[in-house]
Homo-oligomer: A and B are copies of this chain.
């Protein structure tokens, strides 16, 4: 039985970690870290956990925690994990960081897009980017795991096969993404009030969203050359779900069957990536609450482009679910343990 600590357990991603780990046979949460709610019962913060979780919230002492548990999840603001990381912590425990601190290999890119100084760049090289379907083998041996961002997970998985096989012109790639509001976190901000989000849709972070360089880096590995792309996120009046619609010019004429076979080559054996049938567009509702990413594509012969689509639950595969998938890999457990969540519809 793995002993688990969570830092940032009362944010939405932290809450989802608790939901998932509560149903995990080989893991037990020992530490519900939450600076805002120290000494308060966790179930008083998240009433859904009433009579399920009896623990109280505790402070964020990373080193003390490291000595108590086998793995720490940090679901904390950018910069937090990097500011505390050191060799001693990693000598005691494994760390799965849900923030962006160790996702980007070039520290200058990180500092430019996030606007903060990286406090422990010496661990960036060691950190493994935890997109399980792509980096599975590396993940198994990681001490420090950078859990991918929500948009990057969905975007990368939707585009990866065609980028990897060189079928698309990466310089033409445009990713238009739509997210539910839980992605904005549980902070009390006017912009995220019900009345501001409901009956509304908007783009935000146009041409400067922080997930852009993360997607570019990962798709650059696939394409084996630097990628510069447009990424535009939109806020949608729903709690959960990310939908990605990506556009790229095809490098040559191709057929539905050929492209389908490429997607199948990478995903047919993947438990959590479902390549939908021809003509079926991914919908976020079909994956809600689960660790699935649904992907599909349409070839537009008129324009010579392919439209690639992906849908997932931003809090599961886009955060806590993938983090648990990574934990399973890092500790030699079956990859899908605790993630046998059937999507909830409606």
Tell whether A202 pairs with B344 under 8 Å between CB atoms, given A195-B186, A298-B207, A303-B229. Answer: no
| A342 contacts B51, C-beta separation under 8 Å | no
Task: Check: A230 CB closer than 8 A to any chain B CB.
Answer: yes
Question: With the chains together, A178 CA to B202 CA distance in Å?
Answer: 10
Question: With the chains together, A294 CA to B48 CA distance in Å?
Answer: 10
Question: With the chains together, A340 CA to B283 CA distance in Å?
Answer: 26
Tell whether A243 pairs with B201 under 8 Å between CB atoms, given A190-B188, A193-B193, A232-B307. Answer: yes
- Write the A14-36 contact mask toward B (1 if CB under 8 angstroms, else 0): 01000100110000000000000
Task: Check: A2 CB closer than 8 A to any chain B CB.
Answer: no
A245: chain B residues within 8 A (beta carbon)? 176, 203, 232, 234
A305: chain B residues within 8 A (beta carbon)? 174, 230
Question: With the chains together, A47 CA to B290 CA distance in Å?
Answer: 13
Task: Check: A73 CB closer than 8 A to any chain B CB.
Answer: no
Residues of A in contact (CB 8 Å), total 83
| B346 contacts A243, C-beta separation under 8 Å | no
A307: chain B residues within 8 A (beta carbon)? 203, 206-207, 230, 232
Could you say which of A87-95, A132-140, A144-152, A274-282 contacts chain B? A274-282
A22: chain B residues within 8 A (beta carbon)? 342
Q: Which residue of B lies closest to A232 (CB)?
A: B245
Task: Check: A129 CB closer than 8 A to any chain B CB.
Answer: no
Within the complex, which residue of B174, B181, B201, B294 is in contact with A238, where a contact is CB–CB below 8 Å?
B201
Within the complex, which residue of B195, B277, B344 is in contact with A346, where a contact is CB–CB below 8 Å?
B195
Tell whether A189 pairs with B192 under 8 Å between CB atoms, given A23-B340, A239-B198, A245-B234. Answer: no
Question: With the chains together, A344 CA to B20 CA distance in Å?
Answer: 10
Interface residues of A in 233-260 (CB under 8 A from B): 234, 236-241, 243, 245, 247
| A195 contacts B12, C-beta separation under 8 Å | yes
A221: chain B residues within 8 A (beta carbon)? none
Question: With the chains together, A49 CA to B201 CA distance in Å?
Answer: 18
Interface residues of A in 276-308 (CB under 8 A from B): 276-277, 280-290, 294, 298-300, 302-303, 305, 307
Question: With the chains together, A205 CA to B11 CA distance in Å?
Answer: 26
Closest 10 CB pairs of A and B: A200-B285, A195-B346, A48-B343, A207-B300, A202-B283, A194-B197, A176-B176, A188-B188, A181-B194, A206-B298
